[in-house]
Amino acid sequence: MAVRPITVIGHKALHSPTKKVKEVTDELRTLVADMYDTMEAADGVGLAANQVGSRLRVFVYDCPVPDGPNVRGVVVNPVLERLGTPPPLEEEEHGEGCLSVPGEWFPLARHPRARVTGTDLDGNEIVVEGEGLLARCLQHETDHLDGYLYVDRLTGPVKAEAREAVKDRGWAADGVLKWDPSTTTADKV
């Protein structure tokens, strides 16, 4: 398939809710295959359709989990259920990053568990549930499809730090609202 350019913060596609998939078409199957290729080229663990310019409500993921192989799949029309209480931010050990905010990482307390329901490309109902990185990924990708970036959820000094980092990157000022993971690494965007 093909690696597609990834939209960067400031692009309108990232700030609008996506549209429900009404039927699985050959075009959707091609999009999903391209999303897997793009996610792999960008060294990501998840990718939402609006990150590659599509308005469809679908995401792919390929997350490492402790003591096992990566959990990999696609969810069409995901519905998210957050489980548990997020830890206090000062106890957050891992930062969160995003292929649409390349090269930046900021602490964000997410719910420790998450469940997503939806369908696969054959129309079968699926449930994906996880904790740790998989829970973070499910919340992050569903947020994308709802028109939110993880930096939109930051608060206080961390939010100010993120705004400054994005401003310093100059993506919007330079008109650079996409990057090509087949030719560029995220930290060089």
CATH number at 34 reads 3.90.45.10
Which domain, by its residues, includes 142?
6-175
Residue 54 lies in a domain: yes
Its pTM stands at: 0.92
Residue 181 lies in a domain: no
91: annotated active-site residue:
no
Q: What is the pLDDT of residues 140-185, one digit of tens each?
A: 999 999 999 999 999 889 999 999 998 898 876 666 688 889 887 6
For the chain, percent of residues with pLDDT exceeding 90 = 74
Residue 188 lies in a domain: no
Q: What is the pLDDT of residues 73-116, one digit of tens each?
A: 999 999 999 998 887 766 556 679 999 999 999 999 899 999 99
pLDDT score at 178: 87
Q: Is there a binding annotation on residue 140?
A: yes
Q: Is there a binding annotation on residue 11?
A: no
pLDDT score at 22: 97
Q: How many domains does the chain have?
A: 1
Of the candidates 106, 107, 110, the one whose C-alpha atom is nearest the C-alpha of residue 85 is: 110
Residue 189 lies in a domain: no
d(CA 128, CA 182): 29
Residue 1 lies in a domain: no
pLDDT score at 95: 79
Active-site position among 40, 91, 93, 141:
141
**CA dihedral for 155, 158, 105, 9, sign (positive or negative):** positive
Residue 117 lies in a domain: yes
Residue 187 lies in a domain: no
Residue 66 lies in a domain: yes
pLDDT at 6 over 70: yes
Contact 119, 126 (CB under 8 A): yes
Contact 97, 31 (CB under 8 A): no
Q: Is there a binding annotation on residue 111?
A: no
Query: Given the structure tokens 């959990």, which residue do they identify?
Result: 71
